[in-house]
Amino acid sequence: MNTSLLDILHVDGKLYLKFSGELTLYNLTSSQVMIDIIDFSKEKIVVIDLMNLKFLDSGASIFIYKLRKKLSSQNIQNHLECDNKDILDILELVKNEKEKSTKILHPKRRNIIEKLGEHSYENYLGFLSFMAFLGELFANNMHYITSFKNIRYKEIAFEINESAIKAIGIVAITSFLIGLVVAYQSAHQLKIYGANIFIVDMLGISVLRELSPLITAIVIAGRSGSAFTAQIGAMKITQELDAMRTMGFDPYKFLVIPKIVALMITMPILIFVSDIMAIIGGMVVANIDLNISITLFLDRFADVIAAKHFFIGIAKGPFFAFLIATIGIYRGLMVKDDTQSIGFNTTKSVVESIFAVIICDAVFSIAFTNLGI
């Protein structure tokens, strides 16, 4: 194996560093030790002589580059003598790459228009992605309902138990407290005007038409919607979805559609439970704070609250359920290959589901009001 030799000479007031042989990363240490002990502060001109050098690798090229950089920083003139084209080429390559890497690129601060445009474009791409997901979902759904053989009854029953039956408790407690709070806050104002009995009208219409469907949807979005995202996201990270496709199972038919169908079936039932518990909560406050007996409350409720208010609230259930399940599953499919992405998309699924439910409820309210329903 050829080694590198370094001769250090002083000629005509110049310091010569003469390299010969092969200078590589493996034999560089001895030359570096010899150069480190030189006191360059006493020198004015340093000549790096590579005329007798036969080979130079990239590691040694970086060493030569740093040596010349060090001499220049100390205001010492340095010259390179070499007639080997291959060695000159690698020295030039190292120099160019080093100069590129040392340039500090200051990021350009974007103005508000650029930021707005970037966010708008990202939202546009997200919207297109969601529309593509809906298209594939409806295509699979049409195939799903063409035959009773395609319906996954077992999976739907399992999802009904997970997303509805296990959620009855939290929906019931939440609705009871909402009915209790709304009635309590209204009771004070009604007593001032001596209109105690009208708490039945206010509570019945607001609970049946708006509060129960909305509160139920929000609870389910936080409970079941987030669970859908986390479950499918975890399956995507562990490549279970890819394994299903490899074995010939369509994830849409086995995972996506049963969840959506189950939630659309059970949401009206949960809203019905919410109606009952919210009315009971209001009834308790009316009896304690306004001295309205349970019999009087129920008689007034039957007289002034039309059945249409109940059916309007129930009818919103499948639409809310579809939005919650679809957004939750879509966000689960958007999970990347890291656990942090699960938390990020789970949070987004809950926020987007609640926002979509409120928008949908507003559209229903405007439509029913204009239709006189």
Instruction: Kindly report, residue by residue over 140-179, the tens digit of the pLDDT.
Output: 666 666 666 667 778 888 888 888 888 899 999 999 999 9
Backbone dihedral angles phi then psi of residue 81, each to the nearest 5 degrees: -115, 120
Side-chain half-sphere CA neighbours of 112 within 13 A: 0
Residue 126, in any domain of the structure: no
Q: Which residues are bridge partners to 111 per DSSP? A: none
Domain residues for the domain of 39 are 4-102
Where is average pLDDT lowest: 43-57, 215-229, 316-330, 357-371?
43-57
How sure is the predictor about 351, in pLDDT bands with cuts at 50, 70 and 90?
very high
98 and 149 together in one domain: no
Contact 313, 272 (CB under 8 A): no
Q: pLDDT digit string (tens) for 108-122?
A: 677 788 888 888 888
How sure is the predictor about 105, in pLDDT bands with cuts at 50, 70 and 90?
low
334 and 249 together in one domain: yes
* Count of structural domains within the chain: 2
Q: Residue 238 CB: number of other CB atoms within 10 A?
A: 11
166 and 18 together in one domain: no
Residue 334, in any domain of the structure: yes
Residue 112, in any domain of the structure: no
96 and 185 together in one domain: no
Using the predicted structure, report yes or no on whether residue 346 has a pLDDT greater than 80: yes
How sure is the predictor about 79, in pLDDT bands with cuts at 50, 70 and 90?
confident
Using the predicted structure, report yes or no on whether residue 365 has a pLDDT greater than 60: yes
Contact 22, 3 (CB under 8 A): yes
219 and 83 together in one domain: no
Q: What percent of the chain has pLDDT over 90?
A: 19
pLDDT of residue 21: 83
Average pLDDT, stretch 311-331? 92
Residue 211, in any domain of the structure: yes
Q: 13 by DSSP, 3-state: which?
A: coil
How sure is the predictor about 136, in pLDDT bands with cuts at 50, 70 and 90?
confident
Q: 342 by DSSP, 3-state: which?
A: helix
Residue 129, in any domain of the structure: no
294 and 367 together in one domain: yes
Cα distances from 361 to residues 5, 122, 289, 311, 368, in angstroms, run 84, 26, 32, 14, 10
Using the predicted structure, report yes or no on whether residue 268 has a pLDDT greater than 90: yes
338 and 253 together in one domain: yes
203 and 287 together in one domain: yes
260 and 341 together in one domain: yes
Top pLDDT among 347 and 72 is at: 347
pLDDT of residue 99: 67
Average pLDDT, stretch 216-236? 89
Top pLDDT among 249 and 198 is at: 198
Where is average pLDDT lowest: 252-256, 321-325, 349-353, 366-370?
252-256
Distance CA 82, CA 11 (A): 18
97 and 154 together in one domain: no
Confidence (pTM): 0.67
How sure is the predictor about 318, in pLDDT bands with cuts at 50, 70 and 90?
very high
Place of tokens 């966010």: 119
62 and 148 together in one domain: no
Report the mean per-residue pLDDT for the chain: 84
Of 72, 102, 132, which residue is a domain's last?
Answer: 102
pLDDT of residue 1: 47
Backbone dihedral angles phi then psi of residue 45, each to the nearest 5 degrees: -135, 130
pLDDT of residue 338: 76
Q: 208 by DSSP, 3-state: which?
A: helix
According to DSSP H, which parts of the chain are helical? 28-36, 58-73, 85-102, 112-144, 153-163, 168-192, 199-206, 212-220, 226-237, 240-246, 251, 257-289, 294-304, 307-333, 339-371
Residue 43, in any domain of the structure: yes
- 37: tokens are 């002990």
Residue 243, in any domain of the structure: yes
How sure is the predictor about 2, in pLDDT bands with cuts at 50, 70 and 90?
low
pLDDT of residue 315: 92
Q: Which CATH number goes with the domain that contains 68?
A: 3.30.750.24
Distance CA 18, CA 65 (A): 15
Top pLDDT among 116 and 277 is at: 277
pLDDT of residue 155: 83
184 and 76 together in one domain: no
Q: pLDDT digit string (tens) for 34-45?
A: 888 887 777 788
Residue 44, in any domain of the structure: yes
